[in-house]
Structure formats: C-alpha cells, structure tokens
Amino acid sequence: MTKAEIDAVLERVRTWSPERQEDAVRILLELEAAGTETYQLSPEELADIEEGLREIERGEVASDEEVAAMFHRAHR
C-alpha cells in the first residue's frame, strides 16, 4: 500500500459517522499496540519447533523433489 492510498482512505474516514470513526480509531490503536509486543510462543509451539529442529539434526527433511511435488499438488 502506498502513502497516497493510506491518505485516501484516511480522507474517506473523515466523512464517516462519528461512531464509525471511533471504531476505526480503536481498531488502528489496537493494531498499533499489537505491533509493538513481542510474540510469546505457547509451550506447544515451542515443543513443535524443538522437535522440528531435532528432525533436521537427524536428517529427516523433505527432498527438493518432495517439496516441489507438494507445491504442485497445492496449486492445482
């Protein structure tokens, strides 16, 4: 998204009802706050990552051909 597109959307927001403008501001402030937080992995996510790293160490990785076949199936 370009600066001009952002400016255009914000200009349109100024024409909205006060209630919708309040909603827009609230949502934007929530997005802004969420962007500054550090994501905390859940114990399950951390366990999954650690298991994946162990699989890599054991050489349990997909070949280039297997990855290409998976993408081919997914994009049909």
Domain that holds residue 55: 43-74
Query: What pTM does this model have?
Result: 0.45
Q: How many domains does the chain have?
A: 2
Q: What is the pLDDT along the chain (76 residues), one digit of tens a residue?
A: 899 999 999 999 999 999 999 999 999 998 888 877 787 899 999 999 999 999 999 999 999 999 999 999 998 8
Radius of gyration of the chain measured on its C-alpha atoms: 22
pLDDT, position 34: 83
DSSP codes joined into one string, 28-51: HHHHHHHTTSPP---HHHHHHHHH
* 47 and 26 part of one domain: no
Q: Are residues 30 and 47 in the same domain?
A: no
28 and 49 in a single domain? The answer is: no
Greatest Cα pair distance, the chain, in angstroms, is 60
Side chain identity, residue 60: E
Alpha carbon distances (Å) from 68 to 40, 59, 63, 64: 32, 18, 9, 6
